[in-house]
Amino acid sequence: MQARNESGYELWLRYRPLDDAERLAQYRAAINSVVVLGTSATAAIIKNELVRAMPALLDVDVPFVDNPIGNTLIVGTVDELKTIGVSISPDDSRNIGDEGCVIASAEGAKQSLISNLQSLRDAPQSPISNLQCLITANAAPAVLTGVFHLLRLLQTHQDIRALDIVSVPKIRHRILAHWDNLDGTIERGYAGRSLWNWDELPAKIAARYHDYARACASIGINGACLTNVNASIKGLTAEYLEKTAALADGFRPYGVRVFLSPQFTAPVRIGGLSTSDPRDPNVAAWWKDKVDEIYRLIPDFGGFQVKANSEGQPGPQDNGANHDDGANMLADALAPHGGFLLWRAFVYDTNIDADRANCANKEFVPLDGKFRSNVLVQAKNGPIDFQPREPFHPLFGAMPRTPLALELQITQEYLGQSKHLVYLGGMWKEVLDSDTYAQGVGSTVAKIVSAPMNSCIVGVANTGTDRNWCGHHFSQANWYAFGRLAWDYELSAEAIADEWIRMTWSNESRVVDMLKPMMLGSWEACVNYMMPLGLHHLMKEHHHYGPDPGFNGAPRPDWNNVYYHRADMNGIGFDRTHTGSINVGMYHRPLCEEFDNIATCPEKFLLWFHHVPWHHRLYSGRTLWQELQHRYDEGITFVEEMQNAWQRLQSKIDGERFEHVRQRLTHQLENAREWRDVCIEYFGQFQNSATESH
C-alpha cells in the first residue's frame, strides 16, 4: 500500500517507526528512558526534540524522567553532567571546543573523552548505574547538535550498542546566505517568497522561523545572513534592526547567529554624511556607532557580508580607496564585539584584465596580508560565477596571509533551478578536494578554507515559503549536503546522499539502491546536457534558465555568451593558456603546466582553458565535435533513466511527493533536450563551416 501523502515540510527530520525489527528491538532495549539536564531555552528545545522523536521512532512510549531508570539516555552539558558524577578533564573539554559534542555508550566509551563511563556505571550506589548512552558538550547548542547526531543514527538504522563518537566541526563558521530582499522577493530564489516576513516582525514570530533554525541546527549550520548582498539601505535602520533582533532571539537557542549585508553608502544615505570614504574619520565613527547599536540589540550578532564595487554595488573604490580600506574600517567597528567581516571577492572589472577569470586575483592578491584578522575574503568556488562546472578559484592558494571563505551556491541558479533534480554533493566535493599545491601536495581548497586563522564556508540558500522549503523535494538534499560538508568536508557525497535518502524517503534497500545512483549521477548529467567539456556561461540572459549560446546583446563583452565559448570555424573554447589570457599562470605547479598543455588538461576543463580545433581527438577517440554531441546525448539519456527509475518506485513513495517529482523530471527532460538541440544547432554552423573549408 502506498504511504500517506507528505508535503515535504518535515525535510530530513521525519521521525517514523523503524521498519527493521532487529534494529527496533536493539533501540528499545538500549533506550527506554531519557534524562535531559538543564533549564535553558536550548535544554527545552532538546527535550521537545526527543519527545517528538523517540516515541515516533521506537513506536513505544519513552518516559522522560529526572533520574535514570532502566537503560537511560542522559543528555546535558559538561557542567550539568557533573551534578550526576560524570566529568571530563579540562584539557579534554577544551579539545571539543564550544561546538564539538560527545556521544558515548557505557559499552563503547573506551577511547572517548568520557572513558570513565563504564567504571561509573558499575560503581555501587552510582547515580548513573542505569546509564546506557550519554550526549554531552561544553555548550547547550552543541548538545543539541549531538542529539541530532544520535537521531540521525537511529533514522538511518545504525548500530548504537558501542558508541564512542567525538564530533568537532572542521570549519568554524558555517553560514547560509539568503539573497532575500526586504520586499519579500528572493534574488535567484525558486521556492516561493522570503521566509522573513518583515512586515509582521518584530511583533509576530512565525513558527516557521523556529523550524528553519531547527533544520539548520540539525546539520550544524551556525549562521544565517538574512539579507541580500545586493543590499537595501533600509536594512540598517532602527526599524529593521529591531526586526532582525527578533529573528536573532528566536535563532539563538539553536546556536544560529545572524548576519546582515549592509550597503556601503549607508553613512550618506541614512547617516547624513557627505561621503562614505572609509578613510574619513567621521565615516569610521558612524559605522562604529551603528555597529554598537546593533550589538545592543543583538549581543551575539555575527557580523557583515559585503558586496562592494561589483555589479553596480557601491564600495570604497568609488572614493579612491581600496578593498582593504573599506574592509578594515568595518572590521575595526566589529572587532570589539567579536564580530567578523566577509568581504566578497566577486569583482570583475575587465578594464583590469580582459579575461574575467583573472580579475579577482589581480585585485586581491596584491592586498594579501593587509586585511585585519577578523576579515575573511570570500571567494566563489570558481572564478566566473557558479557555473555548472568550473575549476577552483585561483585565489585559493594565492593569499596565504589572508583567511579565505568559500562561497557555494545551494540555490540552483545555473543548474536547472528548482525544476531539475541535481544533487550538488559531488560538485562541492570536487572543489573541496582540489589540490592547489600552494604549500606542496595536499594543500586542498578544504585545508585552506579550514585554516585555523578564522575559517568559514558560506552557502547561498535555496529556501523559500514553498511548503517543501526548496521548490523541488530533491533540492532539500543540497541544503542538507551543504551543512554536512561544512561540518565535515571529509564526508563523501555518497555517504551524505545515503543519509538523506534514508531520512527523507525510506530505509528500504530498493528505494536507497535506486535513488542513490540517480542523485550521484545527476550533477555530471546536468553538466553534460548543458555545458560539457568546460563550456560555460551559455544560459539565457537575466533569468539564467535555458540555453542561448549565441547571445551577444549585452552592454559589456563579458555579459555575452559568445565571449566565453568563442566558437568559430577554427574551433571552440576560451584560450587561457600562456598564449592566451595566461589564466593558467594563476595556478601553482604542476597545475599550471597541466592546464596549459592540451594533451594533459583534464577534459572536463578542456574548453575552459583551450580554444580547441573541431577535429581534435579526445581520449574516447572521437573528435571534439563528435564528443560534444555524445556528451549532450549522454546527459539526456541519464535524465531518461532517472525518469524510469522514479516510475518504478511509485508504490514505495507517497502520492503527493511522487507526483511532484514525476512532473519535475518530465520538465527536466524537456529542458535537457532543448539544451542539446539549441547548442548543437548553434555550434554546428561553425563546425560545418570548418568542414567545408577543408
Residues designated as active site:
311, 385, 413
Q: Give the residues across from 407 on adjacent strands.
A: 380, 458
The Cβ of residue 616 has, within 10 Å, a number of other Cβ atoms equal to 17
Alpha helices in 97-237 (DSSP H): 117-122, 140-155, 207-218
Question: Secondary structure of 488-554 in the HEC alphabet?
Answer: CCCCCHHHHHHHHHHHHCCCCHHHHHHHHHHHHHHHHHHHHHHCHHHCCCCECCCCCCCECCCCCCC
| Cα 387 from Cα 356, distance rounded (Å) | 14
Single out the residue of 617, 614, 636 nearest to residue 625, CA to CA.
Answer: 614
**What are the distances in angstroms from CA 397 to CA 260, 565, 591?**
28, 27, 12
Single out the residue of 342, 432, 409, 330 nearest to residue 378, CA to CA.
Answer: 342
| Cα 283 from Cα 328, distance rounded (Å) | 13
Query: Which amino acid, one-letter code, is at 400?
Result: P
- Residue 551 has φ and ψ, to the nearest 5°, of -60, 130
| Cα 359 from Cα 40, distance rounded (Å) | 49
379 in Cβ contact with 395 (< 8 Å): yes
Q: Tell me, what DSSP letter sits at residue 588?
A: P
- Specify the 3-state DSSP secondary structure of 135: strand
Instruction: Round the CA-based radius of gyration of the chain to a whole number and report it.
Output: 26
| Cα 602 from Cα 612, distance rounded (Å) | 13
Pairing relation of β-strands 456-460 and 173-177?
A: parallel
The Cβ of residue 557 has, within 10 Å, a number of other Cβ atoms equal to 12
Q: Tell me, what DSSP letter sits at residue 446?
A: H
Query: Which residues neighbour 323 within 8 Å (Cβ) at sequence distance 6 or greater?
Result: 308, 309, 315, 316, 317, 343, 347, 363, 364, 367
| Cα 534 from Cα 605, distance rounded (Å) | 4
**What are the distances in angstroms from CA 196 to CA 182, 186, 224, 652?**
8, 11, 12, 35
Rounded to the nearest 5 percent, the helix, strand and coil shares of the chain are 45, 10, 45
545 in Cβ contact with 678 (< 8 Å): no
**What are the distances in angstroms from CA 317 to CA 278, 348, 351, 453?**
10, 13, 14, 27
Query: Which residues neighbour 296 within 8 Å (Cβ) at sequence distance 6 or greater?
Result: none
- Specify the 3-state DSSP secondary structure of 277: coil
